[in-house]
Structure 1
Amino acid sequence: MREFNIGSIVPFGGYHWRILDIQGNAALIITEYMIEQQPYNNCAGDVTWADCSLRKYLNGEFYNKFTAAEQSKIIPVLNKNHDNQWYGSRGGEDTRDYIFLLSIEEVVCKYFGDSSKNLENRSAKQRYWFQRKDENNNKRRSTFDGYVWWWWLRSPGRDNRRAVYIHGDGNIGIQGNGTFRYSSNTIHPLTGDNSGGVRPALWLSLELYL
């Protein structure tokens, strides 16, 4: 029987996924690299994860790219969507998702090393909520088309027109980037787009995967 371990890479649905957690016969997996660029939401205004276009895309069009056999291996989960700890922006309703983005709590405290001390003790002088020398930064870095890029989390930023993201250097942008338009001249050199990268996550049935 095949053994599964946290940190291992598994192929599924045409992508390579990293195992972040194992609970019984289920594994939480995230794509090793960003699979595409997308805005968090397709129109301006306040939004939460429950209502954003990226969630609709991941649980609709993207989910439907998997075969029926692959879909049967994806376990739906009830996600808690907490308010932003510092700015008070709304996390929104809990959501039942097949495919989702990770939250700031999951990225900071659980699956990429434990930097919770920084989450709880933010310095007012820091542009990002933890130091650039945080030992876990490198674990959060990822690429799109081989180029280091930033990627979305589902948590709200300083207001509900922004969402938290992972900077290219692994830092977490707690204030967030614009959910509809990201006002920056920094663009991906291959795509010419400045939208955030997408790293889908899901719970995979290991029993059915074998």
Structure 2
Amino acid sequence: MENIKIDSSLSFGGYNWRVLDIQNNTALIITEEIIEQRPYHDAYKDITWSDCALRKYLNDEFYDKFNAKDKSRIIPVINKNLDNQWYHSKGGPDTQDSIFLLSLEEVCKYFGDSLSKLNNPGKNQRYWFERKDKNNSKRLAKLHGGGYCWWWLRSPGRVNVKAVYIFGTDGNIGIQGNNILKGNIGDGKCIGGVRPALWLNLEL
């Protein structure tokens, strides 16, 4: 594929994707839009990415929407699932994924560089995502066919019945997390947005 570079857009498998990283003729890509809305898990219980219903859906039903040629270009990877740095909730074991959600660390790395704030939080650490991070606007995403909406990351929130997410109004990172089953109970639009990510072979 020609003219593929970081932050460019490409079409693959019927979706438009944003290129986040390129390594050895492979690219990390994420859908430009929120493609659908789903809960992180199908029950209100302690859970990590490795066992959640959304991971199973992405690696089974969603993956099977791609044709054989496209599947051959999707590279399975081992994902690290770190504990929440501020609340120490468990991230769970490493996982092998063909399709996945970005982690807290990855979204801080690839949507501008916010890793220094993640790794060196200030005294008002709960709020730096909300009020001060210059990269917030880069994380905004629209629901397919609609307006801006919040979307899930795979990292745990402050407890393991919550998962980290990106606010829909201004792109802040909700490090405390939303309810894995009902999402943000207070806003009436309770189900979180899904932006799948994958590593794509650029040579095929």
For the aligned pair, the TM-score class normalised by the smaller chain equals: over 0.9
Q: 1:135 Cα shift?
A: 1.2
Aligned partners of 1:14 and 1:26: how far apart in 2?
A: 19
Q: Where does structure 1 lack aligned partners over 5 or more consecutive residues?
A: 188-192
Residue in 1 that maps onto 2:203:
207
Residue in 2 that maps onto 1:196:
192
Q: 1:125 Cα shift?
A: 3.9
Q: 1:131 Cα shift?
A: 4.7
The alpha-carbon distance between structure 1 residues 129 and 157, as it changes in their structure 2 partners (threshold 3 A), is farther
Q: Where does structure 2 lack aligned partners over 5 or more consecutive residues?
A: none
Q: Is 131-140 or 83-92 further displaced after alignment?
A: 131-140
Aligned partners of 2:53 and 2:45: how far apart in 1?
A: 12
CA RMSD of aligned residues (A): 1.4
Segments of 4+ moved more than 6 angstroms = none
Work out the number of aligned pairs and report it: 202
Residue in 1 that maps onto 2:131:
132
Residue in 2 that maps onto 1:18:
18
Residue in 2 that maps onto 1:142:
141
Residue in 2 that maps onto 1:172:
173
Residue in 2 that maps onto 1:82:
82
Q: Secondary structure at the match of 1:148?
A: coil
Aligned partners of 1:112 and 1:157: how far apart in 2?
A: 20
Residue in 2 that maps onto 1:92:
92
Aligned partners of 2:93 and 2:105: how far apart in 1?
A: 16
Q: Do 1:128 and 1:174's aligned partners in 2 also have CA atoms closer than 8 Å?
A: no
Residue in 1 that maps onto 2:104:
104
* 1:39-75 deviations in Å (ceiling 9; x for gaps): 0000110000000000000000000000011100100
Q: Is 1-10 or 154-163 further displaced after alignment?
A: 1-10
Q: Secondary structure at the match of 1:87?
A: coil
Q: What is the letter of the counterpart of residue 34 of structure 2?
A: M
Q: 1:196 Cα shift?
A: 0.5
Q: Is 123-132 or 90-99 further displaced after alignment?
A: 123-132
Q: What is the letter of the counterpart of residue 171 of structure 2?
A: G
Q: Secondary structure at the match of 1:147?
A: coil
* 1:103-144 deviations in Å (ceiling 9; x for gaps): 000111x21111123213334546534352421011111110
